[in-house]
Every structure is written in C-alpha cells, then in structure tokens.
Chain A
Amino acid sequence: AQTVTQSQPEMSVQEAETVTLSCTYDTSESDYYLFWYKQPPSRQMILVIRQEAYKQQNATENRFSVNFQKAAKSFSLKISDSQLGDAAMYFCAYRSQETSGSRLTFGEGTQLTVNP
C-alpha cells in the first residue's frame, strides 16, 4: 500500500516571501500521479497542482511549483510571493495510474500561516 508523509505539521511565512512544503511518499509502482490540495478554513478541498510521475519536468501553476524527485520519492511544493489568501492546510496526495477509479491517498497535512 502507498503511504504519504508530510513531516511539517505547521509552517509560517511572511507575506511576499517564499515557502516550501515537504512531502515524501512510498510506492512500488512506477506510474502514478501526485497532487497538492489546499484546504482553507471553509474545509473545501481545492486542487493546487499535479504532477505525472513519468514527466521529469516539474509542474508549475503561477506562483506554485513543485520539486519532484522520483528516485528520492519526494514531492515538495514551493509557494512564491506568498499572499494572505494562501493561508490554509495543504495536503499532498498520491494516486495510482495502475487502477482505474483509484483512491487519493493523503498525507497528514501542513498548516501554513502567512504573516502580514
């Protein structure tokens, strides 16, 4: 079974600064997808960014980018020019490509605080 680990329960960053959230995972599969979800106080889960394991190029979505290290099974999220609206719980998630309709497996989450 796959596992996802986020070792930073809490992080804080100053507005306009850059922060990196860590995520590691364990799998024996070669084909899979990785995601970062944001959960603001409203509790709704919002997709931030995704990465296909077969792609070496790191995904980027505006101020959000990832550092995907497949051999190390590491998938960190970098938030540049942090904004107050980025404050939320961030979850890293894994999804197999080998099974159709497969589950998302989430990490424990990292609570990000953005200080003005």
Chain B
Amino acid sequence: EPEVTQTPSHQVTQMGQEVILRCVPISNHLYFYWYRQILGQKVEFLVSFYNNEISEKSEIFDDQFSVERPDGSNFTLKIRSTKLEDSAMYFCASSEAGQGWHEQFFGPGTRLTVL
C-alpha cells in the first residue's frame, strides 16, 4: 500500500541553524500539507501546497518557514533560523484531491529538537 515517507525521523539542531525536513508524498496525490505537534499538544496546521503554490497557510507559518517541491517526488519544509519553540513533531500529509472528503494520508513524522 502506498504511503507517505519522511526523512529524517529525528533531527537535532542548534538554535539559529537552518533545517530542511523532507517528505515523499504518495505518487498520484496533488495536495500536500505540513502539520506540527508540540509535545503534549494538539496537531496544528502549517501550510498546504498545490500546483507548486501555497494554497493556504496558518499564522504559525511566518517568514522563517518555506516549502518547496524541488522535483517530482519530494516536498520539503525549510526552517531558516530555528528557535527553541520550533521543537516539535512535524508531519507531512498528502491527498489525492483538495475536496474535504479526500483523506489526508500522514507520514510517520520527523521529530525536530532545537538545542
């Protein structure tokens, strides 16, 4: 069964450093998403992406964040200058279409630790 994959599973970085989190969505999916979950808290939406453009972003997704689909398979989230409060689990998701019915399939997550 096709699945969303994410690398690395765990990333440790120093405050102020740039990190890139990578995701490979399911191959025939057109919509891509990033969510984050700070330990013990709810899952929060960051951004959605379609047709090489951001279609929606939350107030969390400020200028420190960017997303890119550099080739036909990868979808990346870049944090330019990490802060302690960026420590969280980051989930990538993809869906076949953008209508609400269509399931968003989640990857296993990348645990980001900022020291």
Contact = CB atoms under 8 A, between A and B. Distances in A.
Interface of A: 31-33, 42-47, 50, 52, 91, 95-97, 99-109
27 contacts: A33-B100, A42-B108, A44-B106, A44-B107, A44-B109, A45-B43, A45-B91, A45-B93, A46-B106, A47-B103, A50-B101, A91-B42, A97-B99, A97-B100, A97-B101, A100-B55, A100-B99, A102-B48, A102-B98, A103-B48, A103-B56, A103-B58, A104-B43, A105-B45, A106-B43, A108-B41, A108-B42
B104 interface: yes
B101 A104 contact: no
Interface string B26-58: 000001010101000111110010100001101
Interface of B: 31, 33, 35, 37, 41-45, 48, 50, 55-56, 58, 89, 91, 93, 98-101, 103-104, 106-109
B23 to A, nearest CB: 13
Given A43-B109, A52-B101, A96-B100, A101 B55 contact: yes
Contacts of B89: 43
A101 B107 CA distance: 18
A106 B56 contact: no
Contacts of B45: 103-105
B101 to A, nearest CB: 6
A100 B98 contact: yes
A101 to B, nearest CB: 4
A52 B37 CA distance: 26
Contact of A95 (B42, B58, B100, B107): B100
A93 B1 CA distance: 24
